[in-house]
Amino acid sequence: MSGGGGGETTAEAVADAGHIAVADLLAPSEVAEARAALDAVFTSEADIAVERGWRTDAHLVAYALPAKHPALLRLCLHPGAVALAREVLGDDAVLAGANGLDLPPGSTGQALHRDHPHPTPGITLYLHVVVALDDFRAENGATLVVPASHRPPLAERVPAELADRAVPVVVPPGAAVAFDGALVHAAGPNRTDERRRALHLFFARPWVQPHWDLPATIGDAASALGDEQRRLLGFGPGPRRWDPQARRVVR
């Protein structure tokens, strides 16, 4: 399933339907690497996940993945995902956040929602790229989307009113579902005995507020980053400030 047919580009599909399925974003070896790294993060946080609200009846989530595992830092900046973001958002797109999600067997799924509750018809500010690490099927919680709910007339309606329009996006491991951040969507319930894991990569135009302050979050790992990686993670000149002790303007 894709966001549009007839040879539409990714940008055209996202502008029109609000979403598109992208095949083979990750190679099988990269899928295996991502699964192992994400599971390692989940294991390391198991003692605090319930208390922090990261493990619920709906899902298990891990936030700020680039700061938690070197393989995830690399995979969150995967060339295929970056190219996808640049086609929709422009060459100066940045990574605004990166989470990992596991829908365990029996998961209740999510309520329909918009990641960014104020649609901006005509321009995509945020692109959400959900990379499947397991099969996405209707039975195990494939991402549900409401086509065209990021633009009028559906943009004017609250997500709960659009449940009858939601459709699952069925993709294999390594594929991705990319959509406008204002599109109504949700993870469906998992009615199987299998896990359903995914990487959630949030890209944005550089002049909108990111989900995470990734430069401050990554810490010592920043010293090994190349210039392009640093730019994608939001490193760079910040706003000027006045240093009253030095009596000068600094960045």
Report the 10 Å Cβ neighbour count for 113: 13
Show contacts of 13-16: CB within 8 Å, 24+ apart: 14/88, 14/124, 14/127, 14/178, 14/179, 14/180, 15/124, 16/148
pTM of this prediction?
0.90
Phi first, then psi: give them for residue 224, nearest 5 degrees.
Answer: -95, 0
Q: Which residues pair with 186 in a beta bridge?
A: 144
Q: What per-residue confidence (pLDDT) applies to 196?
A: 98
Report the 10 Å Cβ neighbour count for 48: 11
Predicted confidence pLDDT, tens digits, the chain (251 residues): 344 445 789 999 999 999 999 999 999 999 999 999 999 999 999 999 999 999 999 999 999 999 999 999 999 999 999 999 999 999 999 999 999 999 999 999 999 999 999 999 999 999 999 999 999 999 999 999 999 999 999 999 999 999 999 999 999 999 999 999 999 999 999 999 999 999 999 999 999 999 899 988 888 888 888 888 888 998 876 666 788 888 787 76
Q: What per-residue confidence (pLDDT) applies to 180?
A: 98
Length, in residues, of the chain: 251
Q: Which residues pair with 145 in a beta bridge?
A: 167, 185
Q: What per-residue confidence (pLDDT) applies to 113?
A: 97
Pair 80, 124: CB distance under 8 Å: no
Q: What amino acid is encoded at 128 in this protein? A: H
Domains recognised in the chain with CATH numbers: 10-250 (2.60.120.620)
Pair 244, 250: CB distance under 8 Å: no
Q: Which residues contact 41 (CB under 8 A, 6 or more apart)?
A: 62, 65, 68, 69, 72, 100
Pair 11, 88: CB distance under 8 Å: yes
Two structure tokens written together for 190: 């998992």
Q: What per-residue confidence (pLDDT) applies to 3?
A: 42
Give the position of tokens 């195990």. Answer: 140
Q: What per-residue confidence (pLDDT) applies to 2?
A: 40
Phi first, then psi: give them for residue 109, nearest 5 degrees.
Answer: 80, -175
Two structure tokens written together for 108: 């209740």
Q: What per-residue confidence (pLDDT) applies to 134?
A: 98
